[in-house]
Chain A
Amino acid sequence: MSVTFAIPAEAAVLRVGQEVHVLPEAPPMSVGKPHIRTPFYIRGKTGVVAVAVGSFRNPETLALGGDGLPTQPLYRVRFMQRDIWPDYSGRPDDSIDIEIYQHWLVSAA
């Protein structure tokens, strides 16, 4: 299924289907207290890009009075629950999709 968004993903470098690692901790921040939208439980985990959503202003600076520029490509990344929680008790193919900005992701290849 392809989804059309009003916001172009001009700087997207990751492709749908690509395996990605989430950075294990916050990238260096040059401004104040970071407003981070990458949940703690998913940092350092590995998933697969499910949808390239578009580019949005970076909330880490936007929330602190900045302009949020340059915009960051945003992805919906799919993770398997058993990869997140070692003792996950549901089905092995249960999954979780999370929106993650590009600067938090590195290619696993």
Chain B
Amino acid sequence: MAPHDGHDHDHAHGHGEQHGQPHPHRPIQEDLSYRTESAVRARALKELLIEKGIITADEVRRQIEIVDARGPHMGARVVARAWCDPEYKKRLLTTPNAACAELGIDLGETHLFVVENTATVHNMIVCTLCSCYPKTLLGIPPDWYKSFAYRSRAVREPRTVLAEFGTSLPDDVEVRVHDSTADLRYLVLPRRPEGTEGWSEERLAAIISRDSMIGATLVRPDA
């Protein structure tokens, strides 16, 4: 048991107005992930590269900033445009990298492949071997995408996994799982929900979630 666990006691360390009240939360646990072997190795490598003048600390910081700035909002812009412009949708399905570049999104070395949800097929993405993900379009993947449970169960019992995400599909819809094993990275083009007729691209983009572009969920107009 941690030192403060479960005690109703006065304490003098910083909860502002809470002084003298029962503990409002469990004690904050320090994140110890920086001590893992891989984290220590990465830090040592970074420090050596900086020490030898091969990279600078600012370049590392800048790159982290670039990676962190990417996210599902970029994929949502692409999907919203495809919903509003049938010609753009064709280009997205046939030349996905160029279609993203049209919106100023540079996918770099990524070979994007877009799979379209229809009235008869629902697509869902997994990487059973590791955690391949279109990071240059959607940012860092969610933790669940990298979990052993998702990676093993998505190919074995996809409908059960979808149900656990709260996703129920009509009985006549085929579930097609895509195992991202090699050089392609996948984007699901979700179905545009009913009730969004006449919406602007910006308004549509706001309801297009990360999980819908992985195929774990459907897009809802009230998201």
Contacts and interface: CB of A to CB of B under 8 A. Distances in A.
Interface of A: 1-7, 37-39, 41-42, 53-54, 56, 59, 74, 76, 81, 84-85, 89-91, 93-101
B135 interface: no
A54 B180 CA distance: 15
Given A4-B95, A90-B158, A93-B174, A99 B129 contact: no
B62 interface: no
A54 B159 CA distance: 31
Contacts of A100: 181-182
A46 to B, nearest CB: 16
B180 A99 contact: yes
A101 B159 contact: no
Interface in B145-184: 155-159, 174-184
Contact of A99 (B96, B159, B174, B182): B182
B93 A41 contact: no
Contact of B181 (A5, A93, A99): A99
Contacts of B182: 37, 56, 59, 74, 99-101
A7 B183 CA distance: 11
Nearest to B172: A91
A36 B15 CA distance: 53
Nearest to A91: B174
A95 B129 CA distance: 18
A5 B96 CA distance: 9
Contacts of B21: none
A56 B183 contact: yes
Nearest to B179: A98
A90 B178 CA distance: 16
